[in-house]
Amino acid sequence: MIGDPIKSIKETISVVDGPQGDGGELTRGYLVGKDNLAIIDTGTKGSLDTLFQEAVVNRNKNPKDVKYIFLTHPHPDTMAGVYRLKKIFTKAQIAINQKCEEVAKNPKNVLKVKYFKYTKKERLYFAIRKDPFDELERFKPDILFKDGDKFDLGDGKLMVINYDSHCLGHSMFFYTTERTMFIGDALSIYPSLPHSYLIDHSASYKQWFSNIEFLLKAKISVLCPAHDLEQEGRHVKPYIEDVVRAFNEFESQLVMSMLERKFLTVDDLIERVHSAQGIKWYHPYNVLAPRANMNAHLNKLVDEKKVKRNDKHDPVTYTYMASKKDWY
């Protein structure tokens, strides 16, 4: 980690950076507000506890002034710190989207089964490597919010914007102070790598696009992701556009692969597109992201009637149907 793990990007917005993940992704949370303080995202288990305490002291506040712990979504790298933080900041209410109520009751299983559709391959992999979902245990949210809900933090309001883009119930928070948007994992995961977006099995590419369109139209002065550096001013729009471009390039490459061979499985397609585009994922995303993303891309092409899913094949294969003219 280069630089100070705690820094103020604006008077009432501090960034708290813990250790980096295998792909260089930041374990990052934010402390915002003036009279009422709020934590946004908690990092992995134990990664940000003392840093958040320090950030509160830096503001001349005490732990009781933290009134909320807002979670953009229930993945381990944004949520697993919640259990200890709740013990440190005893007045803080845990707030998450109402669509995540089921996950809160049994995060380990719901995430493995519904959000990431573990197959035998994933189970074997995580039997050897550390399973990030094992950091999660049942928790009881104090607040179940929905799209459009607002919270007063003293100097400004925090508004919930929900698209099921990265996963079901994924929520961004718009903070009226400095027109700041906390985007969770709505865009990319790895710093400065626009192709590292992730659309898990509980999300949809349609919602993902709606989220992007919303971000492109919104007047945002500061963009705060969960794993990458914040972007300000004129850097905000190109940052979002780069991710859209990466999505479209992925799709072009996917179609190219299918034009070369008629019946390809999801694994074939992942291998071809990833090697052609130089896409590399690191633990634990190397197991979580490729199949989820490929699934999202294929669903889009199937919905557009450009690709046919051959359900009779075992394993299932995909074939490009639209005429080549449509493409070139």
User: Which residues of this chain interact with Zn ion, rule CB under 5 A?
Assistant: 75, 185
Instruction: Read off the tokens for 114.
Output: 């519904």
Q: Which is nearer to Zn ion, 170 or 272 (CB)?
A: 170
| DSSP state letter for 100 | G
Provide the minimum distance between the beta carbon of 166 and Zn ion in the complex, in angstroms, as a whole number. Answer: 6
**Residues forming beta bridges with residue 173, ordered by sequence position:** 160, 182
Q: Which is nearer to Zn ion, 75 or 291 (CB)?
A: 75
Rg over CA atoms, the chain: 20
Provide the minimum distance between the beta carbon of 167 and Zn ion in the complex, in angstroms, as a whole number. Answer: 6
Rounded CA separation 265/316 (Å): 6
Provide the minimum distance between the beta carbon of 112 and Zn ion in the complex, in angstroms, as a whole number. Answer: 14
152-158 contacts at long range (C-beta below 8 A, 24 or more positions apart)? 152/36, 153/12, 153/32, 153/33, 153/34, 153/35, 153/36, 153/37, 153/38, 153/177, 154/33, 154/34, 154/35, 154/36, 155/12, 155/33, 155/34, 155/35, 156/12, 156/34, 158/32, 158/33, 158/38, 158/70
Provide the minimum distance between the beta carbon of 186 and Zn ion in the complex, in angstroms, as a whole number. Answer: 10
**Residues forming beta bridges with residue 158, ordered by sequence position:** 151, 175
Q: What residue number has its CB nearest to Zn ion?
A: 75
Instruction: Read off the tokens for 315.
Output: 């394993």
Closest CA to 192 of 246, 220, 228: 228
| 3-class SS shares of the chain: helix, strand, coil, % to 5 | 40, 25, 35
| DSSP state letter for 166 | S
Provide the minimum distance between the beta carbon of 225 and Zn ion in the complex, in angstroms, as a whole number. Answer: 11
Q: Which is nearer to Zn ion, 75 or 297 (CB)?
A: 75
Provide the minimum distance between the beta carbon of 78 and Zn ion in the complex, in angstroms, as a whole number. Answer: 6
Q: Which is nearer to Zn ion, 111 or 153 (CB)?
A: 111
Closest CA to 174 of 40, 25, 80: 40
Provide the minimum distance between the beta carbon of 184 and Zn ion in the complex, in angstroms, as a whole number. Answer: 7
